């Protein structure tokens, strides 16, 4: 197929938003950015000990940067976990659907070489958001622009946003020193649980919670358990990137 056509067929519209089924006995185990840190993911799952009724949800960026992207994807598949799309998966899928290697950096290429068909299928199944109506919780990799309804925000926003400018649009810190973090401007419902922006500890705010605690940078890997609102963490075994 012509790569340009295949690229346009990239199925964002199919995976855009999921809504959870409402099983009152089910715990949701929300896991932040793993980035190939398989040993820490195994440590965390051991500590959390998911039951049969529980559902694991990854917030995206399972791959790249760390040592074992493929093993992480394989483990997620084995758990029948749901995963949302991170900017790293988005980039790999953009390459996959366009065959244009301009989407990839050197680290992405190493990951691409290891992935098999089933892994690509898993990446392709990732939704951009998941809404949990019972507690009005919304899960996403990056975040949202507060001025636009969350359902209308596209993959390039919800997987990547960090800072926003005074006009409400995304901006880079170096280009716009007065930009502010999106969650500092998010004072509406639903309550958002997100990853993507690593911090030494979780970032609790009135209307959001950030759980990327920078495992691949030598920080922690975090799980947030709902409905009990409990945090479980493990330390990174090492710093995988300087």
Closest distance of CB 142 from Mn ion, Å: 6
Write down the H helix ranges in 147-229. 155-158
Smallest distance from the beta carbon of 195 to Mn ion, in angstroms? 7
What CA–CA distance (Å, rounded) separates 116 from 136? 36
Q: How far is the CB of 197 from Mn ion (least distance, A)?
A: 8
Would you say 68 or 196 has its CB closer to Mn ion? 196
Question: Given the complex with Mn ion, which of 27 and 73 has the nearer CB atom?
Answer: 73
The strand pair at 170-171 and 55-58 is best described as unpaired
Shortest distance in whole angstroms from residue 134 CB to Mn ion? 27
Please give the Cα distance from 71 to 62 (Å, whole number): 10
| Six token digits for residue 123 | 């990446």
Instruction: Report the interface residues with Mn ion, using CB under 5 A.
Output: 61, 86-87, 196
User: Which whole-number Å values give the CA distances from 46 to 103, 130, 223, in the listed order?
Assistant: 35, 25, 12
**Cα–Cα dist 44/150, whole Å:** 30
Q: Which C-beta is closer to Mn ion: that of 36 or that of 86?
A: 86
In terms of CB distance, is 27 or 139 closer to Mn ion?
139
Of 34 and 112, which CB lies nearer to Mn ion in the complex structure? 34
Strand partners, 202: none
Hey, CA dihedral for 203, 165, 216, 141, is it positive or negative?
Answer: positive
Beta carbon of residue 141, minimum distance to Mn ion (angstroms, whole number): 6
């Amino acid at each position: 197929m012509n790569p340009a056509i295949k690229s346009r067929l990239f199925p964002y519209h199919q995976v855009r938003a999921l809504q959870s089924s409402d099983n009152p006995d089910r715990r949701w185990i929300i896991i932040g950015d793993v980035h190939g840190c398989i040993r820490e993911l195994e440590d965390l799952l051991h500590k959390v000990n998911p039951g049969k009724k529980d559902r694991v949800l990854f917030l995206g960026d399972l791959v790249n940067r760390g040592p074992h992207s493929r093993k992480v994807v394989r483990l997620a598949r084995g758990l029948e976990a749901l995963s949302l799309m991170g900017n790293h998966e988005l980039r790999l899928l953009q390459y996959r659907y366009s065959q244009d290697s301009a989407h990839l950096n050197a680290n992405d290429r190493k990951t691409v070489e290891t992935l098999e068909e089933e892994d690509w299928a898993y990446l392709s199944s990732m939704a951009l958001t998941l809404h949990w109506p019972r507690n009005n919780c919304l899960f996403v990799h990056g975040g949202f622009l507060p001025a636009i309804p969350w359902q209308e925000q596209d993959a390039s926003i919800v997987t990547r946003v960090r800072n926003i400018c005074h006009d409400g649009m995304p901006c880079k810190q170096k280009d716009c020193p007065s930009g502010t973090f999106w969650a500092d401007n998010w004072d509406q419902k639903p309550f958002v649980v997100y990853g993507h922006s690593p911090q030494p500890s979780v970032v609790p705010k009135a209307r959001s919670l950030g759980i990327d605690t920078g495992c691949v940078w030598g920080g922690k890997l975090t799980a947030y358990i709902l409905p009990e609102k409990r945090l479980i963490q493990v330390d990174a075994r090492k710093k995988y990137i300087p």
